[in-house]
Structures are given as C-alpha cells and as structure tokens.
Amino acid sequence: MKIEGKDYKTIWLKDNCVKIIDQTKLPHKFVIKDLKTVKDAINSIKTMEVRGAPLIGATAAYGLVLSILENNDQSFLKKISEELINSRPTAINLKWAVHRMMKKIAGVNSDKILEIAINEAKEICEEDINFCKNIGLNGLKIIEEIYNKKKKPVNILTHCNAGWLATIDWGTATSPIYHAHKNGIPIHVWVDETRPRNQGANLTSYELNEEGIKNTIIADNTGGILMNRGEVDLCIVGTDRTLANGDVCNKIGTYLKALAAKDNNVPFYVALPSSTIDWETKNSKEIPIEERSSDELSEIEGVDQNGKIIKVRIYPQKSKSMNLAFDVTPAKYVTGLITEKGICEASENGLKELFK
Ligand code: MRU
C-alpha cells in the first residue's frame, strides 16, 4: 500500500540485508531499517519494530535466511529457530513460519540451502499478500451488502492495527476496507486508539490517511456508546491466534468490543489468513498471553516541539501497573471469520468446511 504516494511492502530482501519499516517511529518518522543479523531480526520482533502476526512470521522466516548467511551450521539453525519462536509468545504465525522454513532447510548441507531459504521466505510473503487480498475480496461482500441497504457511508470499527503494516500488504481487517474504498463505497473507520502501544492511533489511522480513507481515532472505551447510538455498522478486527473451535485471541480490549457488539446487534467479524489458525491448542486457557513491561503503560511517547520523539511518565512513581497484551474472545461472540477461502462460522464445523 502507499506511503506518501509510493507503494511499499513491510519487509523485503536487498543485497543479503532485510529491510523493514521501523514501526516504533511511526507516525512521526518514516524510517527504513536494515536487519543484518538474526539477532537484529529477533530484536526487531521483541521491540515491536515489526509487529502483527503475519509480519512477525515473515520476519522470523527472513531471520533464518540471515542466520544461514552468518553460520551455516545445522545445530546453530536449530538453536536460532527456537529463539525466533520464543521472541514473542502469542501470535501463532511465528511458530508456523519457523516450522515451515525448518522443514525446507533442516538437514540440507549443500550450498543450495541459502537459495532454498530465500525462496521459502519470499514464498511466505507472496502467499500472505495473496491471502490478505482474498480476505479483502471476501469481506468486501459484507460491506457491499450494508452499503446497498443503507446508501450512506459505512461506519466500521477496528481495534489495534490489523492493517497492511501488520502483514506484508493489504492487511487482514483493513483489506475489506481498502477493497470497498477502491470500489467506490464510502467508508468511515472508527479507530480504537489501542492503549498502551497505540497501534490504532499510530499505525491504523496513519495507513488509512495515506490511502485517503476517512477515519476518526477514539479512546478505547468509546466503542460501546457509539454502537449503542447506532453509529457503528460493523466491527472488523484481526487476530494473533484463532483456535480450531473459533475462539479468537487478539489485542487486549477486543473481547470487550465483542461484548458491546453483541449487546447492540452489531456484526463482529474477525479477519485472518489460515496461517493464524492454531489447529492444535484445544482450550483457549492454554494460549500463552504475552505480558509486556509495565513501563509501556506508565510512560507515554510522543513528539516534543522540536519534533524529537520523547517518553514521559504519566503514573504516580509508587503505583504498580500490569500490561497484558492480548485477550480471548469466545467464538459465540464472533459473527464470522473472514479468511482467504471465504467467510465461515467461528466454530469447528465452520473452519473444517473451509479448510478440509
Ligand atoms: O502486539 P501486536 O501489535 O503485534 O498485535 C497485533 C494485533 O493484535 C493485531 O490486532 C492483529 O490483528 C493481529 S495482526 C493482523
């Protein structure tokens, strides 16, 4: 998608160096960063320079390419693959991408290993672009239906950033929005700020602005009253891990939005590529929920008058705080799952029908 009128992807390889857009600097500065070693890749995932389930999977895949360039030794690759999987715990795409890469390169001792790894990492990215594009085309039908009845701009609420910045291109939750916009359907997006990292305000609003889509940032607690007033036609969110039974793990606060949507009869859709489905975990209580530093809550970041990015403390020095990064929305609150293969019920049967 576009930044200042120029097309970008979120990750690419150039001269044995992995290029990323440093998301910790957005929206204030647009910085392309070089990842030269696998440690750089691990660090970029941990510090959220790259983030969003599909993108961290792709970064881990390229991390393995970098590790082959550093030390083409099978026991080193095995150790690194575990470090990559453990760099963030909740999004399943990380494990999925590393396992997919290791299946191709484990035991390959010839010079071909680098070429094999590069091709697989590129394939993971290309596949994600196609999947996200198809999520958009499938989700477009839902938006079209609402617009055809209403004949007025469609108001969509989204949480966190499940936009193209969280994937390679198009995004998951935003892909139907981008497709609707390209098809001439007037759209307005309510963007949840998404405390504490503000992915909604800093990233979703930024990328929608760059594509010329009307949006309004709201505090995370505002969605309920907007739904109650009839000012939200539908919610579309992304997910970091969806279980085979349809339970959806996503950014903290998603669950509360789903409850409000249910109470107000607002359709609540989750958009995801199949790489985000965890077919193994049976019970959502077993999903590892990331707990990040409490500093992300007690300190807030912004730009000062000189344009310098600074952090200031906003909590009392003596106060404790707790920063759980994800929650689980039970399948019963999800109207449907929008996938690359179509839209299905959030249930074992629904997912099985699409992914036999
Ligand atoms: O902690 P993050 O920013 O990596 O979390 C990302 C999310 O929770 C997104 O909402 C998301 O839907 C998953 S990525 C498409």
The torsion region of residue 66 among left (phi > 0), alpha (psi -120 to 50) and beta comes to: alpha
CA-160 nearest atom, ligand 1: 10
Q: Which stretches within the chain are classed as H helix?
A: 38-46, 53-70, 74-85, 93-105, 113-150, 174-182, 199, 205-210, 223-228, 254-263, 295-298, 348-354
CA-to-CA separations, 160 to 72, 163, 218, 258, in angstroms, rounded: 38, 9, 12, 14
Q: Which amino acid is at 264?
A: N
Contacts of residue 195, Cβ cutoff 8 Å, sequence gap at least 6: 220, 253, 297
pLDDT number for residue 356:
84
Ligand 1 shell residues, CB under 6 Å: 51-54, 160-162, 166-167, 172, 199, 238-240, 250-251, 325
Fold of the 137-354 domain: Rossmann fold (3.40.50)
Distance between Cα 252 and ligand 1 center (Å):
10
Can you give the length of the chain in residues? 356
Active-site residue numbers? 240
**110: helix, coil or strand?**
coil
29 is written with which tokens?
A: 């500065």
Closest CA to 173 of 84, 85, 252, 240: 240
Pick the residue whose CA is nearest to atom 5 on ligand 1.
52
Residues 224, 260 contacting (CB under 8 angstroms): yes
pLDDT at 82: 98
Say how far apart CA 230 and CA 155 lie, in whole Å. Answer: 10
Atom of ligand 1 nearest to the CA of 159: 10
Q: What is the pLDDT of residue 136?
A: 98
Ligand 1 centroid distance, CA of 240 (Å): 6
Q: How far is the CA of 159 from the centre of ligand 1 (A)?
A: 9
The 3-state DSSP composition of the chain as helix, strand, coil percent (nearest 5) reads 40, 20, 35
Which of 90, 129, 161 has most ligand 1 atoms within 8 Å of CB, for mutation? Answer: 161
Tens of pLDDT along the chain (356 residues)? 999 999 999 999 999 999 999 999 999 999 999 999 999 999 999 999 999 999 999 999 999 999 999 999 999 999 999 999 999 999 999 999 999 999 999 999 888 999 999 999 999 999 999 999 999 999 999 999 999 999 999 999 999 999 999 999 999 999 999 999 999 999 999 999 999 999 999 999 999 999 999 999 999 999 999 999 999 999 999 999 999 999 999 999 999 999 999 999 999 999 999 999 999 999 999 999 999 999 999 999 999 999 999 999 999 999 999 999 999 999 999 999 999 999 999 999 999 999 98
Ligand 1 atom at minimum distance from 88 CA? 4
- For residue 290, give the DSSP letter: P
Q: How far is the CA of 325 from the centre of ligand 1 (A)?
A: 10
CA of 202 to the centre of ligand 1 (A): 13
Tokens representing 341 are 């293969």
Q: Would you state the pLDDT for residue 274? A: 98
For atom 14 of ligand 1, the residue with the nearest CA is 52
Left (φ > 0), alpha (ψ -120 to 50) or beta: where does 265 sit?
Answer: left
Q: How far is the CA of 109 from the centre of ligand 1 (A)?
A: 36
Ligand 1 atom 6, closest CA: 52
* Most informative mutation of 239, 252, 274 for ligand 1 (most atoms within 8 A of CB): 239
* Domain ranges, ordered by start, for the chain: 2-127, 137-354
Angle at 64 between CA 61 and CA 70, to 5 degrees: 150
* Cα–Cα dist 163/169, whole Å: 8
Full-model pTM: 0.97
- Pocket residue to mutate for ligand 1, from 51, 94, 193, 257, most atoms within 8 A of Cβ: 51
Task: Domain 2-127: give its CATH superfamily.
Answer: translation initiation factor eif-2b, domain 1 (1.20.120.420)
Q: Are 41 and 60 in contact (CB under 8 A)?
A: yes
